[in-house]
Amino acid sequence: MKRAIGTLTIAALGAAALAVAVPAASGAATGARAARSAAPAAVDPVIGWNRFLLDVQATPGNQPATVHPTYALAMLHGAIHDAVVTVDHSGRPDLTRVHSVQGASAAAAADAAAHDTLVKLYPSLRASIDQQYAALLARVPQGRRKASGVRVGRRVAAQLLARRADDGSSARPASFQPGTSPGDYQLTPPALASPVFTHWPRVKPFVIRRADQFRPPPPLALTSAKYAAALNEVKALGAAQGSTRTPDQTQIGQFWNAPIWAAWNQIAQTAALAHHGTLSQNAGAFAALDLTLADSVIAFYDAKYAYHVWRPVTAIRAADADGNPDTAGDPNWTPLSATAPDPSYPGAHGTISAAGADVLAAAYGNDVAFTATSPALPGVERSFVSFSEAAEEASVSRIYNGNHTRLDEVAGENLGHAVANAVVDRDVPKFSVPVKATPRSSTH
């Protein structure tokens, strides 16, 4: 069986797995089954620029507070992919249409596209971006092919940046007035910070038609039995003190606290290295992954601010007023991990992890064993037998740390599957998922 990726294929080999760990500061690590040999991945611009951008975003003060990090990752890998396929004709560009130059270097095109895109997105970091560019471009032999590749890459970046100039990503966050009725999102303790990315539902998606294309159904009524079961579950499992969690569940709840999109990029990165993918294969895989994650974030913020559902910390403390006889308020309840400052439904970890796992399964097959580390728990490793197993654990971690109910996470998972299916089913790039994910029920 073969898994399609772009217009190329990666052979799905046997069950033997290579477990690889990267330093804890990287956020996550993975191993993947061996695949057919190709050009050394150590000099691959896709991997080099992915590492660079993840490091940039992990450095305090570098990431603009009102621009979601997945946007820059999508722009970077969209530019690299389009530059590579414009030169080597291994597929169709996703976001641009630029004339190729015969004999141009695909690596030089990728480097130039990445450089120009990131300089626009992070102008204050130009010196470090220039340094990264010079180091990677120096690996390409001098000559006409290199110069031609640079020209193509710069044209791709210029066209992509022009097409996305008015996409809403640079808008000011919209004002948001928390509600006062039971079920309404309210500012969460201890910081009582204003909700983030209130403008993100209006950002133009990269692949899906509109932000609400796969909007989850409205949340269940507060008086329903399923709502009570979900709230009582997080109340018991997610409490900072006196919870019913096992030690392993506590570790899970803390392990996945690092930025979830960075974790999935690290998982993809190490899987690509283990498979020794070619430049065009890696460009296709990362473009699909990060376009999917970017659109998933736009989609879940659309739903979050359409429904503005209260977080468990609010719901549990005010449960006596929710009209449900099967819930009971606890005004002192506190979650294991601080609550993220945005509405609860749907869950971001469920959305991003389901989407990321689906795309990686389309590229490499789902049954890839790997070991992950996390900056949230330095020195701790967790091992998985598949992308889907990791996605399920990342999703349920938000119940264990008190940030979400199962209703939130299941809705997020279904949303992530829908966005991923839309990306991998497109004509450009030509991906196919072996078996489409079916929506999960919120019953547990």
Give pLDDT tens digits for 153-184: 999 999 999 999 999 999 999 999 999 999 99
Q: How far apart are CA 136 and CA 301, in angstroms?
A: 36
Give 106-120 pLDDT, tens digit per residue.
Answer: 999 999 999 999 999
Q: How far apart are CA 255 and CA 391, in angstroms?
A: 13
Give 303-320 pLDDT, tens digit per residue.
Answer: 999 999 999 999 999 999
Instruction: Categorize the per-residue pLDDT at 270 as very low, low, confident or very high, splitting at 50, 70 and 90.
Output: confident
Residue that is written with structure tokens 């506590």 in the block? 250
Domain boundaries, the chain: 2-174+185-424
* pLDDT for position 423: 92
Tokens of 171: 């808008």
* pLDDT for position 37: 29
Mean pLDDT of 201-230: 98
* pLDDT for position 264: 98
Q: How far apart are CA 113 and CA 269, in angstroms?
A: 19
Mean pLDDT of 322-348: 98
Which of 66-70, 191-195, 405-409, 438-442 is least confident?
Answer: 438-442
Please count the other Cβ atoms lying within 10 Å of the Cβ belonging to residue 266.
23
* pLDDT for position 444: 36
pLDDT at 18 over 70: no
Mean pLDDT of 370-382: 96
* pLDDT for position 440: 57
Going by C-alpha positions, the residue among 111, 90, 83 that lies closest to residue 38 is 90
* pLDDT for position 426: 66
pLDDT at 14 over 50: no
Please count the other Cβ atoms lying within 10 Å of the Cβ belonging to residue 407.
26
143 torsion bin: left (phi>0), alpha (psi -120 to 50), beta (else): left
Q: How far apart are CA 268 and CA 282, in angstroms?
A: 9
Pick one of 3.40.50.11260, 3.40.50.720, 3.10.20.30, 1.10.606.20 as the CATH number of 2-174+185-424.
1.10.606.20
